[in-house]
């Protein structure tokens, strides 16, 4: 339990020792805050017990109670206590009407002309992204998970979250050079040295994560359709999120099943989230479309976050963390990829076993806040 929760619980305990004077406005604010609390889930009995020690300083009437019922969920015990407070306060002066706080006013999106100009700048950035990267090496740590598909025999109820179990943990030497592109070398499996070829490794793997997807989305011949989605905040920076869709006929997105020697091309859609100030891409999501119904993989989606990282005194926007989830007929797999300890590439560059123990990416680094007053993102 976080410290804020302890403060709230302590204040409720204090209230039980003596009667707490309260205006109608403060009573309404208390009930709304309790209903919307993310730190502590108050039960109907908790709230009713607290109200038993409240003394109104103004008249509480039926209209106010009805307004509160329209704004928040009020349990039967709490409602009974509110009616007792109503009866006890009838001789007091009337309170000012309680006005519910207005919902936040959404910030309008850029105009269509502004969006077109922004997307043109993002396109230029995406198409030249790889050419502007330095030669570097980093440690990729991939944790692979599996779970029975919810709704199947061992997966729990349909609609539940998957019951993930870690399958293995891979430590990969990932290098990039302008001459050779990306190169993957598997160093450790579950912290044990290995000589297994990463490209021949069983299970779910992915390649071409860094610049390939963003370039394909913005290539002119791909004819990607864009539309505004939302304002948000990601890693402390203001972002503009655009929904996009790539038709099957223009797609280079491949899904393969190595065990069955199967490979298909699919259309896809998702979000491109752009730094408001620099118009550089901070996150790309992709969800596969048009997967044939008889294909072993039924659903694939991915997210790749980029962050500003310094290499040899210069700052570049490089991958921070990525997730890939693939769903089959009765099983679901997830790969979490973290990119750590970037440094300048040299032919003899290596990674040490200790690199696998570098601190993981904090959760708040990839947690987006969508501006209030907007509908939830529709393009995921």
Give how far Cα 245 sits from Cα of 117, 186, 280, 303, 380, Å. Answer: 19, 34, 19, 15, 11
Q: What pLDDT score does 14 carry?
A: 38
Q: Name the token pair of 289.
A: 């479309």
Paired sense of beta strands 314-327 and 181-189, if any:
unpaired
Does the domain made of 112-370 have the CATH classification 2.50.20?
A: yes
Q: What pLDDT score does 373 carry?
A: 66
Three-state secondary structure readout of the chain: CCHHHHHHHHHHHHHCCCCEEECHHHHHHHHHHHHHCCCCCCCHHHHHHHHCCEEECCECCHHHHHHHHHHCCCCHHHHHHHHHHHHHCCCCCECCCCCCCCCCCCCCCCCHHHHHHHHHHHHHHHHHCHHHCCCEEEEEEEEEEEEECCCCCCCCCCCCCCCCEEEEEEEEEEEEECCCEEEEEEEEECCEECCCCHHHCCCCCCCCCCCHHHHHHHCHHHCCEEEEEEEEEECCEEEEEEEEEECHHHCCEEEEEHHHCEEEEECEEEEEEEECCCCCEEEEEEEECCCCCCCCCCEEEEEEEEEEEEECCEEEEEEEEEEEEEECCCEEEEEEEEEEEEEECCCCCCCCHHHHHCCCCCHHHCCCEECCCCCCCCCC
In terms of C-beta density within 10 A (0-12 exposed, 13-18 middle, 19 or more buried), how is residue 138 classed? buried
Euclidean distance between CA atoms 349 and 107, whole angstroms: 48
331 has which bridge partners?
148
Using an 8 Å Cβ cutoff, are 196 and 186 in contact?
yes
Domain regions of the chain by residue span = 3-88, 112-370
Residue 284's closest CA among 134, 170, 125?
A: 125
Euclidean distance between CA atoms 366 and 3, whole angstroms: 23
Q: What pLDDT score does 219 carry?
A: 95
What phi-psi label fits residue 171: left (phi over 0), alpha (psi between -120 and 50 degrees) or beta?
beta
pLDDT in tens, the chain (380 residues): 333 333 333 334 434 445 789 999 899 989 988 888 766 778 899 899 899 999 999 999 998 999 898 888 999 999 999 999 999 999 998 877 656 666 667 788 999 999 999 999 999 999 999 888 889 998 999 999 999 999 988 888 888 889 999 999 999 988 888 888 888 889 999 989 988 888 778 776 765 556 788 899 999 999 999 999 999 999 989 999 999 999 999 999 988 887 778 889 999 999 999 999 999 999 999 999 989 999 999 999 999 999 999 998 899 999 999 999 999 989 999 999 999 889 887 755 565 555 566 678 888 888 888 877 666 666 55
């Amino acid at each position: 339990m976080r410290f804020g929760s302890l403060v709230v619980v302590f204040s409720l305990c204090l209230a039980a020792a003596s009667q707490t004077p309260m205006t109608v406005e403060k009573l309404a604010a208390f009930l709304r805050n309790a209903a919307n609390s993310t730190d502590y889930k108050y039960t109907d009995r908790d709230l009713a017990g607290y109200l038993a020690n409240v003394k109104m300083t103004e008249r509480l009437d039926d209209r106010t109670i009805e307004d509160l019922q329209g704004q928040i969920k009020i349990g039967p015990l709490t409602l009974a206590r509110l009616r007792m407070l109503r009866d006890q306060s009838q001789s007091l002066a009337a309170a000012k009407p309680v006005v519910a706080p207005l919902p936040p006013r959404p910030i309008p999106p850029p105009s269509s002309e502004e969006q077109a100009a922004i997307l043109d700048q993002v396109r230029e950035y995406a198409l030249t992204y790889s050419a502007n990267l330095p030669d570097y090496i980093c440690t990729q740590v991939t944790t692979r998970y599996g779970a029975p598909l919810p709704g199947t025999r061992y997966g729990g109820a349909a609609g539940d979250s998957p019951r993930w179990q870690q399958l293995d943990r891979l430590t990969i030497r990932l290098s990039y050079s302008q001459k050779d592109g990306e190169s993957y070398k598997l160093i450790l499996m579950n912290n044990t040295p290995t000589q297994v070829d990463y490209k021949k490794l069983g299970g779910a793997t992915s390649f071409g994560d860094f610049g390939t997807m963003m370039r394909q989305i913005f290539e002119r011949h791909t004819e990607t359709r864009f539309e505004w989605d939302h304002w948000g905040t990601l890693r402390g920076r203001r972002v503009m999120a655009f929904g996009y869709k790539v038709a099957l006929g223009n797609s280079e997105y491949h899904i393969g099943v190595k065990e069955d020697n199967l490979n298909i091309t699919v259309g896809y859609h998702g979000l491109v989230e752009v730094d408001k100030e620099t118009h550089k891409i901070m996150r790309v999501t992709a969800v596969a479309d048009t997967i044939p119904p008889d294909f072993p993989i039924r659903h694939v989606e991915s997210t790749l976050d980029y962050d500003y990282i310094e290499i040899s005194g210069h700052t570049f926007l490089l991958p921070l963390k990525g997730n890939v989830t693939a769903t089959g007929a009765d099983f679901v797999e997830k790969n979490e990829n973290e990119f750590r300890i970037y440094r300048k590439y040299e032919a003899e560059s290596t990674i040490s076993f200790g690199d696998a123990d570098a601190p993981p990416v904090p959760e708040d680094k990839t947690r987006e806040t969508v501006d209030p007053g907007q509908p939830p993102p529709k393009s995921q």
